[in-house]
Amino acid sequence: MLNVIQLTKHYRHIQAVAGVSFQVAQGEMLGLIGPNGSGKTTTLRIVAGLVQPDSGDVMIGGHSMLSSPLEAKRGLGYVPQELAIYPFLTGQEFLEFVADVRQLPRDTREEQIVHLLKTMELSDAKDRLVREYSEGMARKLSICAALLGPPSVVVLDESLNGLDPQSSRKTRLLLDQCLEKGVAVILTSHILAIVEQAATKVALLHKGTVAMELDKQDLRALAQKSKSLEDVYLELVER
Amino acid sequence: MTDASTAAMQALKIAWRRMARHQRHQRSYWASIFGVTLLMAWVSLAITFGFEWVSRIPPQSGSSPDFASLAAHNARQLLFWFNIAQITLISYSTFENIFRRTDASLLLPLPIIPQSWFWLIFKDMWIKHVLIAITGIAVAAGIGIATGYILAISWVIGCLTIFSVQLVLSCWLHLRLGGTLYESKSDPLRAMLTQGLAATQAAYLFYSPAFAFALGAALVLFIDIVFRLVDETGSPIPWAIVTASTTLFIFLTIRSAVALFSKSFATILPRFWETETVDPFRETYLPKPPRTLVFGKLLTLNAQPFFRLYVVQMRRRYRVDGLLYIIVLLTLSMIVLRNESETVASWAYDVTWALWANIMFFYHVPRVLGRAVSANSLTWSLPVSQRTLMMAQRLAVLPAMLPVPAALAPLLLVAGYSVPLTLLGVITALTLPTLAIIWGIKIGSNPTLSPRAFHWILRTAASFMLGICAMYA
């Protein structure tokens, strides 16, 4: 579903990403973790088509983000780390706009929008301008927009961090529904407990490379040894 | 407190100095050369403009006009409009510089001495506006070359007086009216003034740029009278009085502005943000979608949502823009009321004013698309090509432009111009700003461009366009 192949990216003299590769299959959620400056956001921005890599490629549903970006982006829902939202649309209009751009069928989109808004408890605010939303509400709306469709790949860059526990749980519920539908999800967060709970596999980025990959079995084995993801993370980073 | 404040201020100054040095370092050599060349070209244009303007002889003046009196008349007329232009700009830009500074949210929580903060803002404001003063001096130089130094000195005093007074006066007025944000009463006058366009408590502040303009306009009239007096009597005493009283006025006003700033700016600013963030029309209504949405049908299916996105948002974000039509109408009515419309030169003059109105009207459009209503990280992750997006953006701003040439055509015809000239005027008035907008959109869409560079380029473009207009005239 999502195939990231040997990505590299320099910013002047700084090597942000140095040969990152991973795959996320249908119905899988990859938790991408790593210290600040390890290249997580750059990797995800390349995946979303916002940054051109120096080398390597990203394949979404068989389409290359470099050679056929439009086809690749049709299957992508992205929530950036910073709030990126059109401030002078209402919540409802914003989701309708995203539905229009993704060319979702008219007969199902309304139902989806209502479901997403209701789940994220934004129904009462749907007719208010987005600029009047609190940061948490705007983030929830961004997540709704990314999940609308749903697309085949959803990328969430530190998107759960600013949410209250209730909203965080509801987002995970929505993500689980997406996973059941076969969506591939990438999630980054510094709150390792969230990643541990939600992800089906974890990749640890360190100094621009994938330093460690843990699949479902590895995560289960960790739990049996009474070790947390945080322990593994700290061991590796402080080594 | 004082030690902490001084330390914070010192640290801030060092940080700013370092940032400025870093930016200077980043700026390329050729960009600097280009900037200096552009400035020199601009100054040369202004000198030529001043020279040509005072030397021009309107057709009704007869075959042998008195050159000195004609030159004085021309210089006075030019000073009047130059001053009007500068007070228009300064009245509004000072407001932006005080209340909508990007660094304000960073500085507000720091323990900074208010007076020092005021002077930093004021210095920054002065630097940003200095091009106006340079232009005024350059025009005066042109006048001096054409007629001699006496008229030039009069011109430069008149121009710089308005420049310095308007800068200080606007600043004081914005701060003074900023204080009204704390008056919680919601009287009918305030409601009538805002008409749902702004929060009721911000009614007086909302009109602050307009009040500053009105005060400035009164002063411009006063300077016009003084200029006339000096011209008729030949005595420099009125200018001496103006200079002395202006200096005293600036001193007193700035002292009062510092006091106002120190007393209440730290409390005014959060209240101002609050009025900006929570829209007063939230509970009443949102503007209806504009009729120009039908133009979207000209676009492909992929581009249509983006066209709607920009049109709807711009309508909501810039609700007060309709008022700018008044400026356009004033400019156009000025063309009609002028009584020297037979020559091509005066036609060019009229088109210049029309262009000026156009540019002023559309100055912010690239800014809208580049910043205020955009969410670039989101937009570029959506399945839309750059070309489709650009088409939608261009078409979204074009319908807003149409009224200007539409109004210009009949007015030029009424003013007695031939059809080809009128058509040419309309096409020019439409094409140049359109190109400017497209260029602005292109630049505004560049993700690697910093906001500072974007504004710099935009200002340069506006100045360059104005230069072309001036050359016409």
Interface test with B, best of A101, A127, A152 (most B CBs within 10 A): A101
A74/B contact by beta carbon, under 8 A: yes
Q: Which among A71, A78, A86 has the least Cβ separation from residue B381?
A: A78
Q: With beta carbons under 8 A apart, name residues in chain A contacting B317.
A: 87-88
A200/B contact by beta carbon, under 8 A: no
Check pLDDT > 80 for residue A124: yes
Q: With beta carbons under 8 A apart, name residues in chain A contacting B314.
A: 88
- Please state which of the ranges A10-24, A118-132, B221-235, B263-277 shows the lowest mean pLDDT: B263-277
B317/A contact by beta carbon, under 8 A: yes
Check pLDDT > 70 for residue B111: yes
pLDDT at residue B63 in the model: 53
- Measured CA to CA, the distance from residue B347 to residue B415 in angstroms comes to 10
pLDDT category at B281 given cuts 50, 70, 90 is very low
Check pLDDT > 70 for residue B460: no
- Please state which of the ranges A82-86, A148-152, A189-193, B464-468 shows the lowest mean pLDDT: B464-468
pLDDT digits (tens, 9 = 90+) for A32-57: 998 888 899 999 999 999 999 999 99
pLDDT at residue B201 in the model: 74
CB B216 within 8 A of CB B230: no
Average pLDDT over residues A133-144: 91
- Measured CA to CA, the distance from residue B173 to residue B44 in angstroms comes to 35
ipTM of the shown complex = 0.87
Q: With beta carbons under 8 A apart, name residues in chain A contacting B286.
A: 90, 129
**Yes or no, beta carbons of B313 and A74 under 8 Å apart:** no
Rounded to whole angstroms, what are the CA distances from B212 to A126, A165, B94, B136, B226?
39, 50, 10, 20, 21
Amino acid letter for position A71: E
Average pLDDT over residues B339-343: 51
Chain A: closest CA distance from residue B48 (Å): 45
**Yes or no, beta carbons of B373 and A90 under 8 Å apart:** no
Q: Which among B316, B376, B385 has the least Cβ separation from residue A88?
A: B316
Check pLDDT > 60 for residue B396: yes
Average pLDDT over residues B447-454: 53
Check pLDDT > 50 for residue B282: no
Chain A: closest CA distance from residue B303 (Å): 8
B385/A contact by beta carbon, under 8 A: yes
pTM over 0.90: no
**Yes or no, beta carbons of B378 and A84 under 8 Å apart:** yes
- Please state which of the ranges A32-46, A127-141, B103-117, B140-154 shows the lowest mean pLDDT: B103-117
Average pLDDT over residues B126-149: 91
**Is the pLDDT higher at A235 or at A211?**
A211
Chain B: closest CA distance from residue A131 (Å): 7
Show Cβ contacts of residue B104 under 8 Å, excluding neighbours closer than 6 positions.
Answer: B269
A87/B contact by beta carbon, under 8 A: yes
**Is the pLDDT higher at B407 or at B92?**
B92
Interface test with A, best of B318, B377, B379, B448 (most A CBs within 10 A): B377
pLDDT at residue B1 in the model: 46
- Measured CA to CA, the distance from residue A69 to residue A60 in angstroms comes to 9
**Yes or no, beta carbons of B316 and A129 under 8 Å apart:** yes
pLDDT digits (tens, 9 = 90+) for B404-446: 555 566 556 655 666 666 666 666 666 665 665 555 555 554 5
Q: What is the span of the domain harbouring residue A229?
A: 2-238
- Measured CA to CA, the distance from residue B143 to residue B245 in angstroms comes to 26
pLDDT at residue A42 in the model: 93
Q: Which among B279, B305, B373 has the least Cβ separation from residue A97?
A: B305
Please tell me the total count of domains within chain A: 1
CB A180 within 8 A of CB A27: yes
For B141, the 3-state DSSP assignment is helix
**Yes or no, beta carbons of B304 and A100 under 8 Å apart:** yes
CB B90 within 8 A of CB B167: yes
The CATH number of residue A221's host domain is 3.40.50.300
CA nearest B143: which of B65, B53, B56, B30? B53
**Yes or no, beta carbons of A93 and B376 under 8 Å apart:** no
Q: Where are the beta strands (DSSP E) in A14-108?
A: 14-24, 29-33, 55-60, 63-64, 76-79
Q: Is B386 exposed, middle or buried (0-12, 13-18, 19+ CB in 10 A)?
A: exposed
pLDDT at residue B136 in the model: 94
